[in-house]
Chain A
Amino acid sequence: QQQVKQSPQSLIVQKGGISIINCAYENTAFDYFPWYQQFPGKGPALLIAIRPDVSEKKEGRFTISFNKSAKQFSLHIMDSQPGDSATYFCAAGRETSGSRLTFGEGTQLTVNP
């Protein structure tokens, strides 16, 4: 009930390509879906978040797509750059409990020049 499933585990994309990472959740009470970005040697940092009242949120090259009926959400990175190479974690929780998150297992993204 509390799991968040993330795929793929690793992803290699060419510079300029689109990176897509998918997550699925089980708990229908979840209403807050953030993505975290983690560079080697650093802690995770909040990248972008979405609430289920919208189906898409875009910030620069990063877009979250949300499908409430399927209980799935995904991160799209447009025009991927080598500097985007990092581990990406999706998470889910209640907006009123923004710190109480269930995290996915992470996706290691490599963007080749």
Chain B
Amino acid sequence: ETGVTQTPRHLVMGMTNKKSLKCEQHLGHNAMYWYKQSAKKPLELMFVYSLEERVENNSVPSRFSPECPNSSHLFLHLHTLQPEDSALYLCASSRDINSPLHFGNGTRLTVT
């Protein structure tokens, strides 16, 4: 079983809703990431946190807002999303930002 747990597994939300995705890692890692996975497209890195500091923000729209309260937890707050934001959102962690990634099983998001 994965050491990176994501909840919820599935989420359907309207364009005016506000929701949050949660990620928890049990591996003692210091870096955490959000990726977006769309069909037939490469994984897109959204945000990188190292020791709870955001170190990378890859031109992600402001309707996605990350939060990393400690090295074990990562949130992605969502508001006023668009239908094209429907995708699988993957959380990952690594020992540090130079180490291999360990992915969670993702949250399947549908924006209606």
* A residues in contact (CB < 8 Å) with B: 4, 9, 34, 41-46, 49, 89, 96-106
Give the interface SS of chain A, mostly helix, strand, loop or mixed.
loop
Partner of B105, one of A34, A43, A105: A43
**When the two chains form their complex, are residues B40 and A43 in contact, meaning their CB atoms are under 8 A apart?**
no
**When the two chains form their complex, are residues B97 and A99 in contact, meaning their CB atoms are under 8 A apart?**
yes
- Chain A residues within an 8 Å CB radius of B31: 99
* B residues in contact (CB < 8 Å) with A: 2, 4, 31, 33, 40-43, 45, 48, 90, 92, 94, 97-106
Q: How far is the CB of A19 from chain B (nearest CB, A)?
A: 19
Counted as pairs of residues, one from A and one from B, with CB atoms less than 8 Å apart, the total is 56
- Chain A residues within an 8 Å CB radius of B2: 42-43
A99-B101 contact given A43-B4, A104-B42, CB 8 Å threshold: yes
**When the two chains form their complex, are residues A44 and B100 in contact, meaning their CB atoms are under 8 A apart?**
no
**When the two chains form their complex, are residues B98 and A98 in contact, meaning their CB atoms are under 8 A apart?**
yes
